[in-house]
A = this chain, B = another copy of it.
Amino acid sequence: MNPRLPSPRILLGPGPSSVSPAVLQSAATAPIGYLDPELFELLESVRNDLRLLFGTSNAFTIPLTGTGMAGMECCLANLIEPGDRVVIGVNGFFGGRMVEIARRLGAEVTQVDAEWGTPLEAGMFLPALKSSSPVKVVACVHAETSTGVETSIAPIAELAHSNGALFLADAVTSLGGMPVECDKWSVDACYSATQKCVGAPPGLSPITISDRAMAAMEGRSKGASHWYYDWKLLRGYYDAPHAYHHTVPINLYYTLAAALNEIKTEGLEERFRRYREVSAQLLNGLEEIGVLPFAAEKCRLPSLNTVVIPDSVTDEAGLRSALLREYGIEIGGGLGALKGKIWRIGTMGAAATPRNIVLLLAALRLLLKR
């Protein structure tokens, strides 16, 4: 009578990534109540570890209930009031999503475009910031999951601040996989997700908010239209004396605590190095079978590798499907304008091991010959 268990998978797509046995097993810990003193002990430790990953001392650093996209909407909804001017860099699918959500919130959005597959640069933001009316928020994606490209966000944050704007960054595919330094880079608000480089299952979105961003939210002329993701209400729960807001997903907290613990045991630098090495192994191996990188070397993400689908492949979705069915390996297709043009291969979490790459390369070699 039990539901059928899913087939074993090696998750080398854009996320979720595979989870270690210890993290998985922690999910089966019995739940405790949302006001249990032991929950707040656990939560304090999780919040401290998240500050380490975010490179911040921000008081308001929490695992938001929801996935990375919830983190994106949460940050935009608290920062933006209808009519606010917002400048958003777009060099991939997720930058585009920021624009979409900001417009829904009534923002007057200026979109700063860079070609998909290339990074954004501070200079590109200058014209939008120099126009007559003041800009409230500048935002962009640190690590574009749709293109595998890193943008250096510190110069953009600096430019935003020198023009009186707040700076918001998407760190969904970078947190836990490469340096994220919110304080050093002057990032005012930053959100991520647990199911990529952090190595936990999906369902939580770590966010960190600077005092300056908090003050901006508190100074709004009207409260946020969003209740579930209202920073003030959330702070009321996460900080003592802990007023009830919603029933937090405690079993996901267990997994996040276990994953953060593994990161500390491995060491952040060592983890970054593992991702880089496994990524290099992957790209070298792919080159040997004629599959070349999409993103330029200088801006490539170590966690999410984009490669151009060879012309010889007439049914790329069919090939990915065979890879999943026959070898239990998931890799991702392209999103938006890159659909059918690139593959996205993650080297994140517990899946990022030399053995898995050897298997993937061997399987791809066979499938490409069919």
A interface vs B, CB < 8 Å?
Answer: 1-9, 11, 13, 15-16, 18-19, 22, 24-34, 36, 38-39, 41-42, 45, 65-70, 73, 100-101, 104-106, 193, 195, 201-203, 223-228, 244-252, 254-255, 257-258, 261, 264-265, 324, 330, 335
Contacts and interface: CB of A to CB of B under 8 A. Distances in A.
A66 to B, nearest CB: 6
B22 A68 contact: no
B11 A33 contact: yes
20 contacts: A1-B264, A3-B26, A3-B258, A7-B32, A7-B38, A13-B33, A16-B33, A18-B31, A27-B27, A36-B330, A66-B66, A66-B70, A67-B248, A69-B245, A101-B227, A104-B224, A193-B247, A203-B249, A203-B251, A225-B226
Given A9-B32, A226-B226, 11 more contacts: A1-B265, A3-B26, A4-B42, A6-B29, A9-B31, A19-B31, A27-B28, A65-B66, A66-B66, A70-B228, A203-B203
A243 B226 CA distance: 25
Copies in the complex: 2
A297 B18 CA distance: 51
Contact of A5 (B2, B29, B39, B193): B29
Given A6-B42, A24-B28, A223-B104, A66 B228 contact: yes
A3 B257 contact: yes
